[in-house]
Structure 1
Amino acid sequence: MIRSSEAAAMKRRRLNVDSPTQGLVDADNIVLNVVKSKKNQGILKAGVKKEANLAPIVVAKSLKLLVKKKLINIQSKGRDPYYMAVEFEPSDELTGGAWYSEGNLDKEFITVLGDTCLKVIQMLKVATAEGIHDFLKKRKVVECTSQQIAEILKSMVLDNAVIEVKSIGLGEYHSIPVGSVCYRTASGEADSKTIAPMASIPCGACSRINQCTPNGVISPQTCGYYTKWLNFEF
């Protein structure tokens, strides 16, 4: 009959044999520690060679073994592979962040989000990044974050599609706190292809346009025609 102490010892030995780090030599552990030290930033093979201070052939062999043992992963960004310990998730700097899908820039999403933001600004006349995000979130038009909205708007400012201004708290700005950064269309300055969708805006033929205000009984937020237009149903 095996005593409990002997059973525990046998269990420990089995765990050690099955451990991914079992069989690693000093060079492998050095390379593993270098990769782990970079956490979610990852490190290039050249960086591992420099910090580990080992021969290139030794580093290459260790990296291959560590990947095989699933102690590190290979993360690709462009042509150069990064190495990262499996316990970390790649940072936005490594993956490209929310604008990338499976490692590739999601140009379609960027275009749709930019066009939609432009429509909302045209509809509201002036809007903050947070206001646009809330508007889209309520209507479930485009799934995105407020940070993505802010980044798209910054890009649109550089492209002269919209202009960045600060609220004065009066007139069209009455619902926006004074000093808040907001955006409005750059009249006549935006590229014609970019603002082409605005040609179908329903306000031009509306008989109650003079009664339409951002927070009134009649407003862009409650207008059924605008909702259809925003959802590309016209």
Structure 2
Amino acid sequence: MSRLQGPLALKRKRPDSNSPSESLTEQERILYDVIRSKQDMGIWTRDMKRETNLPDNVVNKSLKSLQAKKLIKEVVNIQNKGRKHYMAAEFEPSKEISGGAWYVEGSLDTEFIDLLKDQCAKIIYKQRVATVEGILDVIRRTGIFKVEFSTQQIEEILRALVLDNVVMDVKSNGMGEFDSIPVGKVCYICTNKGVRGEPKAGAMASIPCGVCPRINLCTPDGIISPTTCVYYNKWLDF
């Protein structure tokens, strides 16, 4: 799967008079029109048989002919990998079919994901406090990846790092290391687990109390209390 960004469904010019589609049989034309009408979603062989009312042997023969003429292609549907799924050659599979940026030919690209997670963690470690936008800006400027990432994709990677206990999401209090970040904005700091290839941060560096804007109101038996604090309990689990 191409990692170049752009519309999920890229349309080419309509076939001209010299196109292989001009020499289609009636059955091939019917099948091709149904497949092409599904655009970037494609269609399962059983569904195309139901929609065209063509016999199985005719459908199978026509599919081979259309593939030979490079008018259609078989694609992997990550939701149902065991089903034969076809799409007109002029379209690229939608995210629902391909799985999006994290998949290549229907398989999760774990090596690519791990590399991006590692880079995001290192950026956070070096900056000590980082926002999604700041991390994305660094990645774009360094040019390490040839892929153009979206904010949503970086957020997905950061959520994975939070689940891995590599980083912690906190809200800025606008003071100290957070003075350049608006109050209340979600940002990320490294936990005591550290980053691969980098020294581990001390445990005190990740205590959420140090960046809590309500720390002055926090008491053991108060409304704001360590016993009811989600971030504090999450930190204790590390």
Letter in 1 for 2:27: A
Residue 138 of structure 2 is aligned to residue 149 of structure 1? no
User: How is 1:26-175 mapped onto 2 (pairs within 5 angstroms)?
Assistant: 26-77=26-77, 78-101=81-104, 103-144=106-147, 145-147=149-151, 148-175=153-180
Partner amino acid for 2:41? Q
Candidates 181, 186, 192, aligned match of 1:181 = 186
Does the residue aligned with 1:22 lie in a helix, a strand or coil? helix
Q: Distance in 1 between matches of 2:105 and 2:33?
A: 28
- Equivalent residue of 1:163, what SS? strand
Q: How many residues align?
A: 181
CA contact 2:71–2:88 (8 Å) conserved in 1: yes
CA distance in 1, matches of 2:68, 2:114: 40
CA distance in 2, matches of 1:63, 1:198: 54
In structure 2, C-alpha distance between the alignment counterparts of 1:52 and 1:181, rounded to whole Å: 52
Quote the offset at 1:90 in angstroms.
2.3
* TM-score for the superposition, normalised by structure 1: 0.65
| Counterpart contact for 1:130–1:146, Cα < 8 Å | no
1:157 deviates by 2.0
The Cα offsets for residues 58-90 of structure 1, whole Å up to 9 and x where unpaired, read as: 221221222122221222344444211122222
Give the greater-gyration-radius structure (CA): 1
What is the alpha-carbon distance in structure 2 between the residues aligned to residue 143 and residue 86 of structure 1?
Answer: 25
Contact 1:126 1:184 in 2 (8 A): yes
Q: 1:32 to 1:129 in 2, by over 3 A?
A: same
TM-score (norm 2): 0.64
Unaligned runs of 5+ in 2: 1-15, 202-238
Q: In the alignment, residue 92 of structure 2 is paired with which amino acid? A: E
Q: Which stretch has the larger CA shift, 85-94 or 39-48?
A: 85-94
**Cα RMSD over matched residues?**
2.7
Query: How many Å separate the matches in 2 of 1:140 and 1:20?
Result: 41
Q: Following superposition, which runs of at least 4 residues in structure 1 exceed 6 angstroms of deviation? A: none
How far 1:143 sits from its partner (Å)? 4.4
For residues 49 and 178 of structure 1, the distance between their equivalents in structure 2, rounded to whole angstroms, comes to: 58
The CA deviation at 1:42 is 1.4
